[in-house]
Amino acid sequence: MTVAPRGSIASPTTSLTDAEYATIVERLGRHPNAIEVGILAAMWSEHCGYKHSRPLLKRLPTTGARVVQGPGENAGAVDIGDGLLCVLKMESHNHPSAVEPFQGAATGVGGILRDIFTMGARPIAMLDSLRFGPLDEGRSRYLFHGVVAGVGHYGNCMGVPTVGGEVYFDPSFTENPLVNAMCVGIVERDNLTRAGAGAPGDIVLVVGSATGRDGIHGATFASAELGAEREEQRPNVQVGNPFLEKLLLEACLSLLPLGMITAMQDLGAAGLTSSAVEVAARGGRGIRLDTARVSRRESGLTPYDVMLSESQERVLLVVPPDAVPRVVEYFARWDLHSDAVGEITDDGEIAVLDDGDEVARLPIPLLTDDVPTYVRDARPRPAPAMPALPPEPADLGAALLALLASPNICSRRSIFRTYDHTVRADTMIEPGLGAAVVRIRGTTRALAMTTDCNPRYTWADPRRGAAIAVAEAARNLACRGAEPVAVTDCLNFGNPERPEAYWELSEAIDGLGEACRALGVPIVSGNVSLYNETDGVGIKPSPIVGMVGLIEDRTTVVGGQFREVGDAVLLLGPVGAELSCSEYLGGRGPTPSLDLDLERRAQLVVREATARRLLRSAHDCSDGGLAVALAESAIAGNLGFLGDPAIPERLLHEAEAAGQSRRLDAVLFGEGQSRFVLSCNPDNLTALTALADEHAVPIRRLGTVAADGFSWSGLFSLATSEVSLAWNRDL
Amino acid sequence: MKIAVVIFPGTNCEDETRYVLGERFGQQVDLVWHRDTDLAGFDCVVLPGGFSYGDHLRAGAIARFSPVMGAVAEAARRDVLVVGICNGFQILCEAGLLPGTLLPNAGGTFLSTWVHCRVASGDSPLTTGIEAGRVLRLPIAHGEGRYVADPDVLARIERNGRVILRYSDANGQVAEATNPNGSMAHIAGIASEGGNVVGLMPHPERAADPELSSQDGIPLLGALTRGNGRATLDAPVAVGTASGGASSVSTTRAGARRGSRPA
């Protein structure tokens, strides 16, 4: 379809196109008034309406035996046994964070926490996936420090441990940083709460914070490119109050089991407008709101302001009339506002009143199902060619140290030590190396969780890069013996009206779908953030994958660090001497290959080996390849590694046989997929090898865990301390 | 032993504190809402970690005015065990029940990490029976943990052996390099003059379970729960409160659903 210029209607703060406006007039049979235009612009924004992504998202697998709630609610939910559900969701707060990093990131955390507890679930862990420009740029440092401080500020105060996440630095994120926050919660099956309206006459309450002017037009702001005037958008950024949110969380979670709440919905993007519309739409009802009844924190707010404010720490409740006094009294005890602002109706429309006078009325379907969807022209970007390889370095040890110290590989400790990751006293495996593990008290189980997406891979090939993001996430979970049970994704892309960006989005969604199907894990929730673009230059496509895995017997869990001197060190999986697209090559060249069936089998071997207690450590090979994985396992265990001198020649031979470079740097730093560095008691070697053979996954012993020194005859000979010092640097 | 774990708005470590003391150490633990003014029958009062009142103004500065604090002070006066962990330590200092104060970390940021602490004195409810010099590996997670006191106050608590834990290295050596927050004299925990009130920044309740990465909180909490306490508040303590909403007895039993907390 043809596209009219954007932003030409009514006010510069609406993003309705002329064609969209014409459609609205036709459906309504009249021109909408100013308040209605505000509501329509918010609900028809990309952020709320998923105009470009909805047709593509239908391709994703969202069902499975464990799925209790798929996409469409505040968050997804899967059955994890013992009568419990795991609730998960990831969401972006990119645009606000680009303008005001501290508050942007903080309120991103606040929003995702509300998505979890409005499902009735107790948040048990947070993860964050961040992207910035290179840290030698002043703006990137400012954004980086502000975002990290904002995430910590909110999460720490809430008492929810931040246990994982990842960060990449790449010039494509200089103007458009990414801030994606993921939250995982637990709820007893019977207490799962949904957000569909109840019966006509049920009362609609807004609880929590009073409403102010902050965040007005946040949804439309998040649905457009950031231009040079971005600093002027600062007033569109919300301000967070984690203390108030903590009260809201405790009040809501303690109220839910009493059975007085019909529906609960977070007030997020587009504030009262979207949550009222969504509640009504899910229940197939209408809704009537009187904005005069909403508590305000400042005077002079118009109905338009109240409907579109994105003030934080607010939740919408639907309550039967007879329960209202008790609910109001309950929140008052927590010093929280609870305003009865309206009621559920049976007319299928949203009516907005201002002290009794109707000021807006729109059909609910016009704001939900009738939001137009666009299928754009997709223009593939040719895959990058394999660059000529530089000469092999004379000193492979120096090359390893340089990689270990590079911003995309070095330790993330300087970030996660500012996040409380031990609160709740359930964090069994802390952030630092691979997936974190959080136990579930009262059961034998634990959950492993991770976020992954390598922007180099998704740039070179969005489809395979997205598939690798899924594979890598599941690989990280396999290292903890966890079976992947659910994915939440956050699709961060450029302007979908640009054919190349639309192609990236479409391809990445297909890649996610392929890998999720192959590995048997459904996508139960997610978020789409488009228009991460400035002056026509978009970010590297970033379909961030958040994945949760279930560990049946948490006493089997092993970490990524070497444990005992004398343990055998093995490489499970293909030799993987693919330098293409690697950190070592600066990301040049096509995305590494991915064999999803081999991936599935390799993960199965690691999970089964963990369940049979054959392993002492498991770590995946990702950025920096085999040598970096070996070094990380050694550093984290305060131990060393001694390579078997006969093995490099064998690996070179394997590489050659696989049609890869017969080069030692390719063996050490290549980023071939589906690989694990394992360590085990030598007594378990036979059983482990037999298990790998049974599933036709290559395995070979590389060497031995040493007390000191990181060396491999003919490759490198380094002191443990210099390896550790290179990696353990502050960002 | 009957233990009260006090919840202020913004407290966030009450659940694991209750779990560890109740289920790992077998004590009777009641969660007590900050508007309660009656701590009768308790042998021990624990102020757990968190961000009471969002740490607005200064950590602990608002919580000290909560209705329950009158009863906490009365408990302290009557030789009942009173323990403040992290934010609880900050509140006890703000309330004047422990000397000194806790300022923002010298590094300027919140710090969540594992530290080593050397037991400096075995003469406190948390360290009884632990030999001085023993090194414990414990987690910290705070933004305002830099212990500061006037020179004469510091001299007095040192002289009287009221420093119970100091940040150290794994061998028990104290040095600036292993002091995570710039605390004076590397202080991680102290006891009151009377000895029954203790405060510490590290979280022993996060290191008291074989499934977690350290169990070094076990000796501390073991010392606390080994005896029957020193004294029990045996009569309701009438304390005037500013809040008209103060309820009478509304504690919940250990293990009660979290839903019934502030009823």
Please, which pLDDT band fits residue B243 given cuts at 50, 70 and 90?
Answer: very low
Interface test with A, best of B19, B36, B112, B218 (most A CBs within 10 A): B112
> Is B54 within 8 Å of A417 when comparing Cβ atoms?
no
Minimal-distance CA residue of chain A relative to B139 = A422
Whether residue A440 has pLDDT greater than 90: yes
Residues A49-80: pLDDT tens digits?
889 999 999 999 999 999 999 998 889 999 99
Please, which pLDDT band fits residue A233 given cuts at 50, 70 and 90?
Answer: low
Average pLDDT for residues A631-643, to the nearest whole number?
A: 98
A244 vs B contacts (CB less than 8 Å): 54
Return the pLDDT at A7.
34
Sign of CA dihedral B1, B7, B8, B13: positive
Average pLDDT for residues A182-206, to the nearest whole number?
A: 92
Token pair of A211 as six digits: 């409403």
**Mean pLDDT for all residues in chain B:** 89
| CB atoms closer than 10 angstroms to residue A239 | 16
Return the pLDDT at B260.
33
> Is B54 within 8 Å of A157 when comparing Cβ atoms?
yes
B50 → closest Cβ in A159, A254, A257: A159
> Is B206 within 8 Å of A422 when comparing Cβ atoms?
yes
- Report yes or no on A487 lying in a domain: no
- Non-local CB neighbours of A217 within 8 Å, separated by 6+ positions: A13, A42, A236, A308
Whether residue A505 has pLDDT greater than 50: yes
- Report yes or no on A145 lying in a domain: no
Please, which pLDDT band fits residue B235 given cuts at 50, 70 and 90?
Answer: low
For the ranges A428-442, B120-134, B229-243, the lowest mean pLDDT is seen at: B229-243
Residues A115-126: pLDDT tens digits?
999 999 999 999
Do the bridges between strand B2-7 and strand B44-47 make them parallel or antiparallel, or are there none, so unpaired? parallel
Residues A553-576: pLDDT tens digits?
999 999 999 999 999 999 999 999
d(CA A689, CA A492) in angstroms, rounded, equals 41
A418 → closest Cβ in B111, B208, B211: B111
Q: HEC profile for chain B?
A: CEEEEEECCCECCHHHHHHHHHHHCCCEEEEEECCCCCCCCCCEEEECCECHHHHCCCCCCCHHHCCHHHHHHHHHHCCCEEEEECHHHHHHHHCCCCCCEEECCCCCCCEEEEEEEEECCCCCCCCCCCCCCCEEEEEEEECCCEEECCHHHHHHHHHCCCEEEEEECCCCCCCHHHCCCCCHHHEEEEECCCCCEEEECCCHHHCCCCCCCCCCHHHHHHHHHHCCCCCCCCCCCCCCCCCCCCCCCCCECCCCCHHHCCC
Please, which pLDDT band fits residue B249 given cuts at 50, 70 and 90?
Answer: very low
- What percentage of chain B carries pLDDT values higher than 90? 81
B245 vs A contacts (CB less than 8 Å): 333
d(CA A453, CA B156) in angstroms, rounded, equals 56
Return the pLDDT at B258.
30
Task: Please identify which residue in the block is written with the tokens 């995946």.
Answer: A620
- Count: domains in chain B: 1
- Non-local CB neighbours of A388 within 8 Å, separated by 6+ positions: none
Contact indicator for B83, B120 with CB cutoff of 8 Å: no
A722: domain range? 558-731
Average pLDDT for residues A424-450, to the nearest whole number?
A: 96
A121 vs B contacts (CB less than 8 Å): none
DSSP SS3 for A288:
strand
Nearest to A452 by CA among A549, A577, A576, A542: A542
Return the pLDDT at A4.
32
**Mean pLDDT for all residues in chain A:** 93
The identity of residue A73, as a single letter, is E
Whether residue A713 has pLDDT greater than 70: yes
Average pLDDT for residues B237-256, to the nearest whole number?
A: 37
Counting Cα atoms < 13 Å in the Cβ hemisphere of A88 gives 30
Total residues found in chain A within this entry: 731
Whether residue A107 has pLDDT greater than 80: yes
Q: How many CB pairs under 8 A join A and B?
A: 104
Return the pLDDT at A231.
62
Do the bridges between strand A337-345 and strand A286-290 make them parallel or antiparallel, or are there none, so unpaired? antiparallel
Please, which pLDDT band fits residue A598 given cuts at 50, 70 and 90?
Answer: very high
Return the pLDDT at A546.
98
- What percentage of chain A carries pLDDT values higher than 90? 87
* CATH number of the domain where residue A564 is located: 3.90.650.10
- At A70, give phi and psi (nearest 5°): -95, -165
Return the pLDDT at B41.
94
Whether residue B257 has pLDDT greater than 60: no
d(CA A724, CA A634) in angstroms, rounded, equals 9
B13 touches chain A (CB under 8 A): yes
B110 touches chain A (CB under 8 A): yes
Token pair of A44 as six digits: 């028809």
Interface test with A, best of B86, B105, B211, B218 (most A CBs within 10 A): B211
d(CA A674, CA A666) in angstroms, rounded, equals 16
Contact indicator for A631, A711 with CB cutoff of 8 Å: no
Q: A627 pairs with which residues across the strands? A: none
The identity of residue A58, as a single letter, is K
Please, which pLDDT band fits residue B245 given cuts at 50, 70 and 90?
Answer: very low
- Report yes or no on A624 lying in a domain: yes
- Report yes or no on A589 lying in a domain: yes
Which residues of chain A from 154 to 213 reach within 8 Å of chain B, CB to CB? 156-159
Contact indicator for A249, A229 with CB cutoff of 8 Å: no
Centroid of chain to Cα B103:
16
Rg, C-alpha atoms of chain B: 17
Would you please indicate which residues of A are annotated as catalytic (active-site) residues? 47, 93
Return the pLDDT at A216.
78
Nearest to A490 by CA among A468, A506, A509, A477: A509
B54: domain range? 2-260
Q: A263 pairs with which residues across the strands? A: A318
d(CA A680, CA A682) in angstroms, rounded, equals 6
Residues A688-707: pLDDT tens digits?
999 999 999 999 999 999 99
B260 vs A contacts (CB less than 8 Å): 254
- Count: domains in chain A: 1
- Report yes or no on A223 lying in a domain: no
For the ranges A188-192, B111-115, B137-141, the lowest mean pLDDT is seen at: A188-192
Predicted model pTM:
0.93
Residues A310-368: pLDDT tens digits?
888 999 999 999 999 999 998 988 889 899 999 999 999 999 999 999 999 999 999 99
Q: Pick the catalytic residue from B86, B116, B142, B186.
A: B86
CA dist B9 → A240, A246, A353, B38 (Å): 17, 8, 35, 18
Return the pLDDT at B251.
35
Average pLDDT for residues A586-613, to the nearest whole number?
A: 97
Write out the H or E segment, with its range, that includes residue A353: strand A349-354
Residues B36-68: pLDDT tens digits?
999 999 999 999 999 999 988 889 999 999 999
* CATH number of the domain where residue B79 is located: 3.40.50.880
> Closest Cα of chain A to B59: distance in Å?
11
> Is A243 within 8 Å of B10 when comparing Cβ atoms?
yes
> Is A254 within 8 Å of B260 when comparing Cβ atoms?
yes
Return the pLDDT at B200.
98
A253 touches chain B (CB under 8 A): yes
Return the pLDDT at A378.
94
Residues A451-467: pLDDT tens digits?
999 999 999 999 999 99
Please, which pLDDT band fits residue A385 given cuts at 50, 70 and 90?
Answer: very high
For residue A590, with 0-12 CB atoms within 10 Å meaning exposed, 13-18 middle and 19 or more buried, which class applies? middle
Total residues found in chain B within this entry: 263
d(CA A550, CA A344) in angstroms, rounded, equals 39
A247 touches chain B (CB under 8 A): yes
Interface test with A, best of B12, B87, B142 (most A CBs within 10 A): B12
B110 → closest Cβ in A156, A427, A441: A156
